[in-house]
Structure 1
Amino acid sequence: MARRLTPALIAAASLALAAVAAPTASADHGAATGRALADRATAYGATAKYQVHANAVADGYVPDKYCVFDRVGRTGALGYPHFNHKYDNSVDPKKPAALYYEDDGRGGKRLVGVQWLVYDRDQKLTTDDDRPALFGTAFKGPKPGNFPGQPVHYALHLWLWKKNPRGLHETFNPAVACLPGTTRP
């Protein structure tokens, strides 16, 4: 039986949207910050339904069976990526190319973060004149592909559904862990 969004989840998403979209009183926050907050609220609203894992799969997000962790720093993970390649090159806050899930402790998956992925125009790691931005933040990169056939690209992570103590747009989240035996050999 498919799980549905519970009233508590809907209420939590609504509160998150209200908190994110609320105007700030500080004079330090300009129009870019207002736009960034509005875009983040849009991303919350667009991805809330993916708290139910089956909704993400039904909408074309293909699960990877392996959990991705930080192999270099060994200080966190992304979780289980779910890519929908029709959203590659999207800078629309409603259309992330990837969703990241972690194990929920009950045999299911919990949405923790999202990612936008944009291919580098000239496919050179030495130039970045086409670097995109979203949420008032420049994408990281250009980066080489993570698997054979993936183009040189820019990426922007957003830890929308689980706080990342290192920052909202950091690649790996130390609060996300891969269970033993779930990472790519």
Structure 2
Amino acid sequence: MSTTQQLPQLSQLDRTPIRRTAILTAALAGALLAVPAAAQTRAAANVSGPTAVRDVEAAPTLAAVRAATARFRDVRVALKEGYVRDPSSMCMVAEMEGMPRQLGGMGIHYFRPDLLGITAPPNPRVSGTGTHTDFRTPGVLIYEPQPDGSLRLVAVENLVFEKAWRAAGNTEPPQFAGQEYYHMIDNPLTTADEAHGFEPHYELHAWLYRENPNGTFAQFNPRVSCASHKAPAHAHE
């Protein structure tokens, strides 16, 4: 199946960053309140120090990350451990960030607010104070929607906000396995929201559960489809 066949047309919500951010603001407020208290207390033990990610030799192998995250194939496990679904319920594709359609899709994001340091709704964008970079406990899990309504884990991700990263004394972007994180910042001159409603940040995906011809750490995967994604009711209001 070609990428063109796999990826659906973007809804009006996807093309309107201001509207998406407004919805995200309202939804994230509820999501933060819903995070289990037990998950919130685990954050301190999982936050990496500012120099940890630059020590490539000390970083876990991809095999170790896969072994540590395999349980999240079951999204119910992720929910029990404090991950929450992207409140806007977006299934991300390359076009949403102003990238060529042929690059493919990303999927639906589930994240742990405590690891990202997110404690409040967007103002006006999502921001956080976390500097967590340990892929064995990723800050974000990415799922592909299936035709039967289930979700399949395709990748893990870590995201750190630039302001928090710099405040921790870091002068270079974080790295993992020799791969520098991507720097994401919205360009106000374009209609696409290149930072998907977030403040400037660094992010890196590891496609451990779906082979990616673009590369293990590429942002998008042409073998990921959003065709089976059922948008929330508010997406077309």
- The alignment's TM-score, normalised by the length of structure 1, stands at 0.70
Unaligned runs of 5+ in 2: 1-54, 117-130, 187-194
Give 1:106 deviation, angstroms.
Answer: 2.5
Give 1:181 deviation, angstroms.
Answer: 6.1
Matched AA of 1:60: G
The residue number in structure 1 matching 2:71 is 49
Give 1:56 deviation, angstroms.
Answer: 0.8
Structure 1 contact 51–111 (Cα < 8 Å) conserved? yes
Unaligned runs of 5+ in 1: 1-30
Q: State which drifts further: 162-171 or 70-79.
A: 70-79
The residue number in structure 1 matching 2:207 is 159
Structure 1 contact 66–182 (Cα < 8 Å) conserved? no
The residue number in structure 2 matching 1:129 is 171
- Output the aligned Cα RMSD: 2.6
Structure 1 contact 121–130 (Cα < 8 Å) conserved? no
Question: What is the aligned length?
Answer: 148
Structure 1 contact 139–155 (Cα < 8 Å) conserved? yes
Equivalent-residue separation in structure 2 for 1:142 and 1:102 (angstroms): 22
Larger strand share, 1 or 2: 1
Structure scoring higher RCO (CA < 8 A, sep ≥ 6) equals 2
Structure 2 contact 107–226 (Cα < 8 Å) conserved? yes
CA 1:179–1:96: 2 relative to 1, 3 Å: same
Structure 2 contact 84–112 (Cα < 8 Å) conserved? yes
CA 1:61–1:181: 2 relative to 1, 3 Å: closer
Listed one character per residue, the Cα deviations across residues 16-48 of structure 1 (whole Å, up to 9, x for unaligned) are xxxxxxxxxxxxxxx95x766x43222112210
Listed one character per residue, the Cα deviations across residues 100-151 of structure 1 (whole Å, up to 9, x for unaligned) are 1012332211100011101113899xxx93301012211011434421xx32
Give 1:58 deviation, angstroms.
Answer: 1.1
Matched AA of 2:183: G
Give 1:66 deviation, angstroms.
Answer: 2.3
The residue number in structure 1 matching 2:41 is none
Larger helix share, 1 or 2: 2
Q: Does 1:66 align with 2:116?
A: no
Structure 2 contact 145–229 (Cα < 8 Å) conserved? no
Percent identity at matched positions? 29
Mapping of residues 77-96 of structure 1, within 5 Å: 77-88=105-116, 89-96=131-138
